[in-house]
Amino acid sequence: MSTPSESFLKVENLHVHYGQIEAIKGIDFSVSQGEIVTLLGCNGAGKTTVLKTLSSLIRSSSGKIKFEGQEIQNMEAHKIVSLGISQSPEGRMVFPDLTVDENLEMGAYLRKDKPKIKTDRDYVFSLFPRLKERIKQEAGTLSGGEQQMLAIARALMASPKLLLLDEPSLGIAPILVQSIMAAIKEINQKGTTILLVEQNAFLALKLATRAYVLETGKITLSGSGRELLENPEVQKAYLGK
């Protein structure tokens, strides 16, 4: 476990390449236990690349990723999940031919604690009642908003200490965006630390304890959610002011 003096998640001088192209250019950031930390940036800034690197879906070129004091940058993806990091990916990526219930089972695939799995399943249904209504429905037939709820619920079924959320509001009706953001806040209040990538900067910064701005693979700004909401550069670039 991490001690109070060290970050829950600490990224040091992280570089990531796609072939000859350097997508992430030596970034440093941290996430403390209990926070919601937001990564802001335009399309192509490298936000999804950062999350995929944390999950070991992409390997870093150099730098360190420490989770609870342990270096994890060279671990296999399933071991990252077993340590307590799970991801709800951009584009939802639910298993379309499996039912809602079967998708949730996939989220808990590495777990053996059956009573707690049942408790967590009940919890995600309390967060997202629509999923319970559609429990035997194939995921591919759900609306975009319902699929997003399922993607988050599936990630929660891994019982994460750190939840990575990639664009949870993307392509979703505004009324559902509000309920998903409320669910994210509740998940955090229940004790799960969250790293959030989100294009809706206003909603993301309102939720965030702290935030970082990523531009073409580099962190250019950081501060509390409130500080960045009031920052003129952020307002001009991301809030349309």
Angle between helix 144-156 and helix 114-127 axes, rounded to 10 deg: 150
Condensed to tens digits (0 to 9), the pLDDT of residues 73-126 reads: 989 998 999 999 999 988 778 999 999 999 998 998 888 888 889 899 999 999
For tokens 């998640």, name the residue.
9
CA dihedral 52, 79, 112, 99 (to 10 degrees): 30
DSSP string for 149-210: HHHHHHHHTT--SEEEEE-TTTT--HHHHHHHHHHHHHHHHTT-EEEEE-S-HHHHHHH-SE
* Domain ranges across the chain: 9-91+160-238
Condensed to tens digits (0 to 9), the pLDDT of residues 4-52 reads: 335 799 999 999 999 999 999 999 999 999 999 999 998 889 999 999 9
CA distance 106 to 93: 12
For tokens 């304890």, name the residue.
209
**pLDDT at residue 2 above 60?**
no
Q: Which residue has the higher pLDDT, 153 or 6?
A: 153
- Count of CB atoms within 10 A of residue 33's CB? 16
- Asked if CATH classification 3.40.50.300 holds for the domain at 9-91+160-238, the reply, yes or no, is yes
CA distance 42 to 20: 22
Q: 76: helix, coil or strand?
A: coil
Condensed to tens digits (0 to 9), the pLDDT of residues 216-227 reads: 999 999 999 999
Beta strand 9-18 pairing with 62-67: antiparallel
